[in-house]
C-alpha cells in the first residue's frame, strides 16, 4: 500500500471539504479520482502532499506521514497541480533545467523527450505560452521524475486531443515502469481507459469505489419478451439480476462474463435483444445526477459501493 488515508477530514469553518476519507492505493496501480468541482479531489491530493493540515484523521505516502514528514513524502512523489503556474520570466528549457537541478531524480534528457512527444517548443518564454503549453511543460517535468508515486490533478485539462492521448500513453508507461499513478479528471472516458480503480467523490465524501476490471464485465441486457416471464436459473443467480421488468420488456444486468449468460438467453423467447457494457458514466451518474433512480442503480453498484 503506497498511499493510505484513515478517516481523513478537512474543514474550513463550517464547510467540510473532506470528510472521513478512507483510501488505499496499491503500488503499481493507476488510481482514478472522479467527482464534480468542489467534490474534494484537489483537497485530498493537496493533503497528501502536506500543503494542507488535516482537521482529523491521517494520511501516509510510502509509510511517511503526509503532514509531519511531508518532505520525505515529496521525495517519493511527483505532482502536477490542477493549474500549473511556472516562472513567467524563464524559457521552457530554463524551467526544465531548474527542476532538473532541484531534484536529483528528475532526468533532464527525459524531460526533453517528453516535451518533444507532446510537441512543445521549449525555446519559448513561459509568459508567451498558452495554458495548454504550460501544462505540457509541467507534464514534461513531472513525468520525467523517477519516483514511486505520480499524482496528476486533471493532467489533460487544456490539452488538445493528440496531446491528451499522448499523456494517457505516458501514464500507462509510468505504470509499466512500476510507478503508482493517482489521476484526477472530469473526463470519464480517460479514467475508464486508463485506471485500474476509481473512487467517486461527492461533497467531500468517498461516495463509491469501483474496480474498472469489474466494471468492464458488467453488461445490461435489454430485450422484448415474447413468451412467459423468465426465471433466472440458480446457477446464474449470482451473476445476473433483473433490473426492470414489465409484461413485454425486461432489463437484466450481468456482472460476470457473458458466455454463460448468452447460453441461457438463447433458450428464452426474446426479441430485439440489445447488450451494452455498463460504462463508468452510468456509475458516475448514479452518484451525481440529481434525478437518478436509486432503486435501479442500487442493483448495479451493490457489490462495491461504500457510500456514506
Partner 1 sequence: MWSTTIWRKTWGDQALLGLSFAVLWAAFPWIYIGLSAQIEMNAFQDVLLRAIPEDWQKMSGVPFSEVATHVGRVALAFVDPVVVLTATVWGVTRGSDAVSGQLERGTLEMILAQPIPRRTLYSTQAIATICGGFCLCVILYASIFTAIQFGPWAGKVNPLQFLPPALNVFGLMVCMSGLAAGVSACDSYRWRTIGILCAFYITSLLTKLVGRLSETLNWAGYLSVFNAYEPQQLVGGEWSDWQLLLQYNGILIGIGITSYVIGGYIFSKRDLPAPL
Instruction: Compare residues 124 and 260 and give the one whose CB is closer to partner 1.
Output: 124
Among 31, 64, 79, 284, interactor with partner 1 by CB under 8 A:
79
Residue tagged 438467453 (cell numbers): 265
Element (H, E) at 204: none
* Residue number with CB closer to partner 1 (127 or 293): 127
CB closer to partner 1, 51 vs 264: 51
Q: In what order do the strands lie in the sheet with 56-61?
A: 15-25, 3-12, 56-61, 64-65
* Contact code string over 15-44 relative to partner 1, x by CB under 8 A: ---------------------------x--
Residue 98 sits in the site that holds partner 1 (CB under 8 A): yes
Give, in order, the Cα–Cα distances in Å from 238 to each of 20, 21, 234, 255, 303: 32, 30, 8, 8, 11
Name the minimum Å distance from CB 101 to partner 1: 4
15: which residues sit within 8 A by CB, 6+ positions away? none
Binding of residue 102 to partner 1 (CB under 8 A): yes
Query: Sign (positive/negative) of CA torsion 68, 69, 71, 77?
Result: negative
Q: Which of 6, 11, 75, 158 binds partner 1 (CB under 8 A)?
A: 75
d(CA 137, CA 148): 21
Q: Which of 3, 31, 92, 99 binds partner 1 (CB under 8 A)?
A: 99
Q: Which residues bind partner 1 (CB under 8 A)?
A: 42, 46, 49, 51-53, 71-72, 74-75, 77-79, 81-88, 98-99, 101-103, 138
Amino acid at each position: 500500500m503506497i498511499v493510505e488515508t484513515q478517516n481523513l477530514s478537512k474543514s474550513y469553518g463550517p464547510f467540510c471539504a473532506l470528510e472521513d476519507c478512507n483510501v488505499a492505493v496499491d503500488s503499481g496501480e493507476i488510481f482514478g479520482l472522479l467527482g464534480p468541482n468542489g467534490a474534494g479531489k484537489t483537497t485530498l491530493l493537496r493533503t497528501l502532499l502536506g500543503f494542507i493540515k488535516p482537521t482529523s484523521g491521517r494520511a501516509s505516502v510510502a509509510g511517511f506521514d503526509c503532514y509531519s514528514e511531508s518532505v520525505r513524502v515529496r521525495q517519493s512523489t511527483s505532482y502536477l497541480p490542477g493549474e500549473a503556474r511556472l516562472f513567467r520570466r524563464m524559457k521552457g528549457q530554463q524551467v526544465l533545467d531548474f527542476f532538473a537541478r532541484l531534484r536529483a531524480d528528475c532526468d533532464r534528457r527525459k524531460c526533453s523527450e517528453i516535451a518533444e512527444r507532446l510537441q512543445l517548443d521549449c525555446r519559448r518564454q513561459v509568459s508567451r505560452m498558452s495554458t495548454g503549453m504550460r501544462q505540457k511543460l509541467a507534464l514534461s517535468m513531472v513525468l520525467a521524475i523517477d519516483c514511486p508515486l505520480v499524482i496528476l490533478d486533471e493532467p489533460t485539462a487544456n490539452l488538445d486531443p493528440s496531446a491528451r492521448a499522448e499523456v494517457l500513453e505516458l501514464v500507462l508507461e509510468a505504470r509499466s515502469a512500476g510507478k503508482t499513478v493517482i489521476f484526477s479528471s472530469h473526463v470519464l472516458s480517460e479514467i475508464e481507459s486508463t485506471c485500474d480503480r476509481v473512487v467517486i467523490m461527492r461533497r467531500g465524501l468517498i461516495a463509491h469505489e469501483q474496480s474498472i476490471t469489474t466494471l468492464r464485465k458488467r453488461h445490461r441486457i435489454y430485450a422484448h419478451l415474447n413468451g412467459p416471464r423468465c426465471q433466472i436459473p440458480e446457477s446464474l443467480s449470482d451473476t445476473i439480476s433483473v433490473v426492470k421488468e414489465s409484461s413485454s420488456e425486461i432489463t437484466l444486468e450481468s456482472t460476470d462474463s457473458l458466455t454463460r449468460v448468452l447460453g441461457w438467453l438463447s433458450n428464452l423467447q426474446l426479441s430485439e435483444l440489445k447488450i451494452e457494457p455498463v460504462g463508468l458514466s452510468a456509475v458516475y451518474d448514479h452518484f451525481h445526477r440529481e434525478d437518478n433512480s436509486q432503486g435501479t442503480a442500487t442493483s448495479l453498484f451493490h457489490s462495491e459501493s461504500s457510500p456514506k
